[in-house]
Amino acid sequence: MESFENIYLDLSKQSGKCKLAESGMGWKPSGGGDTFTLDKSNIGAAEWSRAAKGYELKIISRTCGVIQLDGFEQDDFDRASKAFKIWYGVNLTNREHALRGWNWGKAEFGKAELSFNVQNRPAFEVPYSEISNTNLAGRNEVAVEFFLPTDDASTAKEQPAGSTKNRGRKAGLGRDELVEMRFYIPGTVTKKEEGDEQGEGEENKSADGEEEVEEQNAANLFYETLMDKAEIGDVAGDTFATFLDVLHLTP
């Protein structure tokens, strides 16, 4: 078993002890409270990078999204890397962030977070669980809104502070919060027509044998992809009525 002191879970204000064992990992706050545990079967990937309090161990779980553990020392990398490789079968990737300060780059949609990369290095990442809404602010502009502490008040008492089981709980732990971010995405992108490989796919080919492609506004594609990844608009429960067309009169 590997043990690490003064580790912060998901931007928590209180530090705790992180333990890596053959069965999985756990974190317990130093001041007392509930323990956060993660089974080894739920660990999908892991990354090591510089962070606010030293070095951060970021775990991409299979069901809980992104788990951030901050406060490691540089010398802890070898111990953590060996534990992840032997016990969990996961390579701990050493990832360096972009420090150029550029405000242009490439947005990539990962499994659990949106990454903004500059020269193939991440400048920042935004977990999908922290995104409350997104909308098209203009023809080439997409606004991304983040959860506020009051947005998740109905479930805030169900889990301790710092738990990753609640949407938007990470941002609510800080004194100052980022509530909105806007991306300017010019141009268009080509999108292939979807269809069966042998059926409709043959019909989508032109007379020259080339597949027909559809041009789409890049901002619209970014918006639609983020809506799907962040599961925005999905409401749990049963639907009683659906109104497809509603007449709205304005003076």
* Tens-digit pLDDT profile for residues 81-99: 999 999 999 999 999 998 8
What's residue 199's pLDDT? Answer: 47
Which of the two residues, 179 and 151, has the higher pLDDT score?
A: 179
Fold of 2-94: PH-domain like (2.30.29)
pLDDT band of 201, cuts 50, 70, 90: very low
Please check whether the two domains, 2-94 and 96-152+167-190+216-235, share a CATH topology.
yes
Predicted confidence at residue 161, as pLDDT, reads 43
Question: 1: pLDDT confidence band, cut at 50, 70 and 90?
Answer: confident
The residue whose two tokens read 């534990």 is 83
pLDDT at 77 exceeding the cut of 60: yes
DSSP string, 60-123: EESSS-EEEEEEE-TTHHHHHHHHIIIII---EEE-PPP-S--S--EEEE-SSEEEEEETTEEE
Query: In this structure, what token pair is assigned to residue 75?
Result: 């010398």
Sequence ranges of the domains in the chain: 2-94, 96-152+167-190+216-235
Could you give the angle at the alpha carbon of 208 between the alpha carbons of 207 and 213, nearest 5°? 85
Task: Report the topology of domain 96-152+167-190+216-235.
Answer: PH-domain like (2.30.29)
Q: Could you give the CA distance from residue 55 to residue 164 in angstroms, rounded to a whole number?
A: 19
- Per-residue pLDDT, 135: 92
pLDDT at 170 (0 to 100): 60
Task: Supply the pLDDT for residue 169.
Answer: 57
Task: Tell whether the model's pLDDT for residue 196 goes beyond 50.
Answer: no
Q: What is the mean pLDDT of residues 180-208?
A: 66
